[in-house]
Structures are given as structure tokens and as C-alpha cells.
């Protein structure tokens, strides 16, 4: 399978009935901080797409760029022990989503994935997500992101105030 590109993400946006255009940046957008800097927005308005393996099965977690996902909360959601939840490595992420870390979009993956959306993203009316490359993003209203991904909105981040 050839790697997916921003064109695939644009097609997925259109298939979801979203009139949203991908923005290509000269500066890198592979990390949440790089994306926030390139876009000129708050770090928390960046929707990180993180692939986790829960008891071996893939789950996409969308979290605010200024928060840290709490694997214990994911484990509790699926009724498994904390040791059954881990973040996927780059090879697994590419195999499952079709995209490399730093460019994984919230939709348009190689296969359907369950999606969990951290509630803290809802602080922002519009969030910005990766669009298939480390130089591409797209803006999307939070409510439309949840709708387009079929995501379940939950509290998924650490409560200790760090990251």
C-alpha cells in the first residue's frame, strides 16, 4: 500500500461533506508546538491524533496539544488493565492509519478506527488537525470534528495539571 497523502485527507473531508481546505505550511507542523507556531494559534487548539493499542486493538485518540493523554483513563473506558494500553510505534501507526506520526489526520485512515476525543479540545470552537504530512493541517469546528470522526467525547487527559 502506498503511503497516504494530504490528497487522501482532502478526499476524506469531502466525503464527510465538509467544505474544508487543507493548508500547506512552509514550517513543519509535525508536533503540536510546531503546528501551533506555524498556524499562529494556541497550543491547546491543536488536535493531536495519537494511535493507541488497547488489548492489541487500535484506537485513535484526539487530544489537545497542551494536554497529556492518561493511558489509565483509556484502559478504564475499555475495561482493561493499564498494562493493556500502549501508544503505537511508528511502524504500527503507518500500517494501521496509512500515515506517519506527525501527519496522522483524525479521519481518512487506511481502515476504520474507533475514535476517542478528549473533552479538553472542546475549549476551542475551532481546532486544527494534521492533514497527512508534517507540513499540512486543516481547521475544523470542534463539533464537526466529533461528528465527522464518530468520536466519543471523554475525559482522557492527566488530572495533575502537567502537560
**Spatial distance between the Cα atoms of 163 and 156, rounded to a whole number of angstroms:** 13
% of the chain residues with pLDDT over 70: 96
User: Whole-prediction pTM value?
Assistant: 0.95
Residue 123: band (very low, low, confident or very high) from pLDDT cuts 50, 70, 90: very high
- Segments making up each domain of the chain, as ranges: 6-154
Mean pLDDT of 58-83: 97
Mean pLDDT of 3-29: 95
The CATH number of the structural domain formed by 6-154 is 3.90.960.10
Tell whether the model's pLDDT for residue 163 goes beyond 50. no
Tell whether the model's pLDDT for residue 159 goes beyond 90. no
CB atoms within 10 A of CB 111: 9
**Spatial distance between the Cα atoms of 118 and 92, rounded to a whole number of angstroms:** 22
Tell whether the model's pLDDT for residue 160 goes beyond 80. no
Mean pLDDT of 100-116: 95
Mean pLDDT of 88-111: 96
Instruction: Please report the pLDDT score of residue 18 as a whole number.
Output: 96
Mean pLDDT of 11-23: 96
Instruction: Please report which residue ranges of the chain form alpha helices under DSSP H.
Output: 6-15, 32-39, 71-78, 90-97, 142-149
Amino acid at each position: 500500500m502506498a503511503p497516504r497523502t494530504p490528497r487522501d485527507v482532502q478526499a476524506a473531508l469531502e466525503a464527510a461533506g465538509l467544505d474544508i481546505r487543507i493548508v500547506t505550511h512552509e514550517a513543519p507542523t509535525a508536533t503540536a508546538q510546531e503546528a501551533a507556531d506555524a498556524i499562529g494559534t494556541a497550543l491547546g487548539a491543536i488536535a493531536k491524533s495519537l494511535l493507541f493499542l488497547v488489548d492489541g486493538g487500535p484506537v485513535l485518540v484526539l487530544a489537545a496539544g497542551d494536554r497529556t493523554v492518561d493511558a489509565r483513563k483509556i484502559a478504564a473506558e475499555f475495561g482493561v488493565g493499564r498494562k493493556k494500553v500502549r501508544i503505537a510505534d511508528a511502524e504500527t501507526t503507518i500500517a494501521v492509519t496509512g500515515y506517519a506520526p506527525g501527519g496522522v489526520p483524525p479521519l481518512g485512515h487506511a481502515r476504520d478506527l474507533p475514535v476517542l476525543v478528549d473533552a479538553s479540545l472542546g475549549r476551542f470552537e475551532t481546532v486544527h488537525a494534521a492533514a497527512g504530512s508534517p507540513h499540512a493541517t486543516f481547521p475544523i469546528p470542534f463539533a464537526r470534528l466529533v461528528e465527522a470522526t464518530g468520536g466519543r467525547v471523554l475525559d482522557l487527559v492527566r488530572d495533575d495539571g502537567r502537560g
